[in-house]
Amino acid sequence: MKVSVKVPATSANIGPGFDCLGMALPIYNIVTIDETVLPGTGVEINILSNEEDIDNILTDHIPKDENSVVYKAVELLYNSIGQTPSELKINIETSIPVTRGLGSSAAVIVGALIAANTLLGNPADESALLSIATEIEGHPDNVTPAIVGGLVMSSLENDGSIVYRKLNWPDEWAITVCIPDVELATEISRSVIPKEVPIEDAVFNLKRMGMFVEAVNTHDTELMKLALMDRLHQPYRQKLVPGLKELSEAFKHDEDVFGCVLSGAGSSMLVISKHSAVEKVDSVIQETMNNLNIKADIRTLKIAEKGATILE
């Protein structure tokens, strides 16, 4: 039996929502798990992509043996029902850029979990899948929208469960993604964030998170400009992400552009604006990255309302 699962990219944090806000984006990985019939072959992981050198890049971040997050996700699921994975062939067709803050690892974890769960007859419900995926990933901001789609607030509770709620993104707001040709490993990006922050910075982000929810619910553009500010992670990561400071300054006083935020741990960035400003946003991003001598893929995307999907 063979199962393929299509999983969207995700962008986490979105300014003030450090480790608790995430949105699904329509760039996809496909994870296929095939139960082989040859005993003793073990678990085989293959990475498929049209991009040059992607196999070497992915192998660095997604090992092809038992150390792989893909294997660990499958193993955790099997162990939860008292089994161990045996002869499985796992193919990963990747279109989500790696080490760019777009949830590539979350996508393969989620894809492998849902494919394995289907092969096993669906012993795990959504709640269990969220918990297992978060245990592997470390936090729920990417895996939750990867599973359920949309714009999501999520929280890892003390008992390992995930509490989440979806927010309805306004149709009139555009999301332009800048994907620089710059790798930034999550471990490096996390290492620059202090373990303790001043209380005023924590309060600042609490206020901004409240503003974010209200701005999305009421389509309040003026409030959204304030809501996208952050003091918990972006000020520390800014030096690692070429273009973040420049783009934030470029759009600071533009009433049609709400802000520029880091996507996850970076290096990708999101510029959130009115749809009428998309052409201007694209031009400013292109000029800024050209001035920094950095190639960048610029895409205006809608939120992917559907999360991981089993392909027929």
**Tens-place pLDDT, residues 18-56:** 999 999 999 999 999 988 765 555 678 888 876 554 444
Which residue ranges does the chain devote to CATH 3.30.70.890? 173-301
Which residue ranges does the chain devote to CATH 3.30.230.10? 2-167+303-311
- In terms of pLDDT, which residue wins out, 12 or 56? 12
What's the CATH fold of domain 173-301? Alpha-Beta Plaits (3.30.70)
* Residue whose pair of structure tokens reads 């604006």 in the numeric block: 273
Average pLDDT score, the chain? 91
Identify the weakest region by mean pLDDT among 87-96, 212-221, 282-291, 303-312.
87-96
Identify the weakest region by mean pLDDT among 10-24, 52-66, 104-118, 267-281.
52-66
> Could you read off the pLDDT of 85-135 as tens digits, one per residue?
877 889 999 999 999 999 999 999 999 999 999 999 999 999 999 999 999
Residue 53: predicted pLDDT: 46
Query: Count of CB atoms within 10 A of residue 225's CB?
Result: 19
Question: Does the pLDDT of residue 192 top 50, yes or no?
Answer: yes
| DSSP at 138 | S
Q: Classify domain 2-167+303-311 at the CATH class level.
A: alpha beta
Q: Which of 72, 55, 161 is nearest to 112 (CA)?
A: 72
Pairing mode of beta strands 88-93, 43-48: parallel
